[in-house]
Amino acid sequence: MVWKMAKVSDFKRIGDDKVTAIGMGTWGIGGKEFPDYSKDRESIEALRYGLELGINLIDTAEFYGAGHSEELVGKAIEGFNREEIFIVSKVWPTHFGYESAKKAARASAKRLGTYIDLYLLHWPGDTWKKIEETLHALEELVDEGLIRYIGVSNFDLELLRRSQEAMRKYEIVVNQVKYSLMDRTPEETGLLDYMKREGITLMAYTPLEKGILARNKCLAEIGKRYGKTSAQVALNYLIWEENVVAIPKASNKDHIKENFGAMGWRLSREDRERAKLCV
């Protein structure tokens, strides 16, 4: 059976691809540092539900559940048109290095059962030499067709610039960082503005601060004017920026449906400023 994805109008660009402004994060799905098989069926069903709604962006990593998160993503996408889905995974710093990164990427692709659209360096790691070797290894993996785009995660402005300069053939298209109404570090450090100028997408993780912003009464008051919840206001604050996508955790169908409702509209500039005062 071939599953259909609904049509969504709220897209952002990563490279030459269009991804939904809200994606599905999988940290904790299938376990954290170690595999957890207790909620596999629920997790797969939740991810499939998101795909059916039309969300086409899924974020995972080899570190999540020691690879089990990737396995669940691979099962969730079965039956869907692979070309309509954008999968992000990441290499952990212990696997940085020319050969190690290639081996890690191949292992991730095997668990996913498919190629990887965007492959990120998960954290900066210990040495610049290892980062540079890894970036060059990933460029070769693009040539091989195992991955399609290269990005980084948790890189500050200086390290992002340095990484850009190190690239030989391809560009860094994403920097995934923590960004929320409670943590506006990318705005305060100039990282967000720099990435706008460079055409680099900011992928915001922990955008709801583990549920804290979903319970914010001030944001809920703003949301009433739009028929939206506090969580939807908090997510819309982020995707209001032209180069920002958010990846809240896709823990269950109810949360995914609520996250989906953060798309297709925008806060007014005035209400967006008011939202800053809520935290």
**According to the model, what pLDDT value does residue 267 have?**
98
Identify the DSSP state of 39.
T
| Low pLDDT (below 50) residues in the chain | none
Q: Do the bridges between strand 172-178 and strand 201-205 make them parallel or antiparallel, or are there none, so unpaired?
A: parallel
64 labelled catalytic: yes
C-alpha 214 chain-centroid distance: 19
**According to the model, what pLDDT value does residue 243 have?**
98
The beta strands (E) that lie in the chain are given as: 11-14, 17-20, 24-25, 57-59, 86-91, 116-121, 147-153, 172-178, 201-205, 244-246
* Among 256, 137, 266, residue whose Cα is nearest residue 208: 256
* Among 78, 82, 60, residue whose Cα is nearest residue 69: 60
Catalytic residue (choose from 64, 179, 205, 237): 64
* Among 162, 161, 136, residue whose Cα is nearest residue 150: 136
CB 42 within 8 A of CB 252: yes
Q: Coil, strand, or helix at residue 133?
A: helix
Architecture of domain 11-277: Alpha-Beta Barrel (3.20)
**According to the model, what pLDDT value does residue 33 have?**
87
User: Where exactly are the structural domains of the chain?
Assistant: 11-277
Q: Do the bridges between strand 86-91 and strand 57-59 make them parallel or antiparallel, or are there none, so unpaired?
A: parallel
Specify the pTM: 0.97
Q: Which two tokens stand for residue 220?
A: 């809920």
**According to the model, what pLDDT value does residue 205 have?**
98
How many angstroms separate the CA atoms of 75 and 58, rounded?
13
